[in-house]
Structure formats: C-alpha cells, structure tokens
Amino acid sequence: MLLHYGILAFSIFFGLKIGQNKKKYLLISAIPVVVLWHLPWFFGLATRYIDVWVLDVFSMFMSGYVIGSCIKGSNLTLQLILFSLWMLGDSLLSYLWIVNPVYYAYPISIYPSSQFPLAGTVMFVFMDMLGVGIILWVFFKRIFSEIGYN
C-alpha cells in the first residue's frame, strides 16, 4: 500500500510540475483506475501475478499524472472534491482492513488476514498526518499570500 502512496504522490507531483492538462474530463478516466486497484479482486490479482502488478503500477502512475496535470489549473472546488474523495476512500479502505480484512486476505491475495489490521492502522495514521499537513500548508500559503509574504 505504501507503494501506491509513493507512486501516486510522485506521479501527481510530476503532473503538477510538468503537465498542463485543461481537459478535466480525463479525471473521469483516471479516478476509476485508482479505485479499481483498491478493490479486493484486483488487489489480490496484483499481489499474485507480476505482470498484473506491473499493469497496476503503470496505470496508477499514469492516472496520478493525469490527476496532477488536471489539478494544476483547476478551481478550489475541484481540488476540495478530489481531496475529500481521497480521504473518504482511504478511510473506508483502512476501516475495512482494520475491522474485516477477510475481503482482502488470503486466498484472494498472498497476505494473511492477520497483517491487515496493522497495515490499515498505519495507513490511516499516515493518511491523516498527510491530510492535516496538506490542509495546514494550503491554509498558511493562503494566509501569507494575503498579507504579502509570497
């Protein structure tokens, strides 16, 4: 799961810095790809087969790039919606991993169900720290730009 965070973080950052995509409708194709790889059956396939895992990593990278390049010129409303969807989706996934990991565990994936509660807890804490960091960064950036400290 940390690999997904790393891939998406890098590719969204890459899309923000390099890409300039004014076609917001591409988000409609990028977001479902990210969601798809977090569903139990696809998650399990990616843990079992290297070629499916490569497809997972490549499609996650491309989706992150599209999301990052679409965020660059978008309004605050779209950015808040995407941020909220990320927090909601990861919270739900963390909850499933902590409370009922049977959907993601062996025989669906290579991981036993005993590993998921700790992974879900770590993912939830990491996501919350990252989310609060992003909120504070945006907050202070807006405060300092309003008083003239760019």
Q: Which residues contact 119 (CB under 8 A, 6 or more apart)?
A: 1, 97
Q: Mind listing the pLDDT tens digit for each residue in 27-57?
A: 889 999 999 999 999 999 999 999 999 999 9
Q: Mind listing the pLDDT tens digit for each residue in 110-138?
A: 889 999 999 999 999 999 999 999 999 98
Which of 63, 60, 57 has its CA nearest to residue 19? Answer: 63
Q: Is the pLDDT of residue 79 over 70?
A: yes
The string of DSSP letters for the chain reads -HHHHHHHHHHHHHHHHH-----GGGHHHHHHHHHHTTSHHHHHHHHH-HHHHHHHHHHHHHHHHHHHHHHTT--HHHHHHHHHHHHHHHHHHHHHHHH-GGGTSTTTSSS-GGGHHHHHHHHHHHHHHHHHHHHHHHHHHHHHHHTT--
The residue with tokens 């990252």 is 130
What is the structure's pLDDT at 51? 96
Tokens of 80: 């808040």
What is the structure's pLDDT at 144? 82
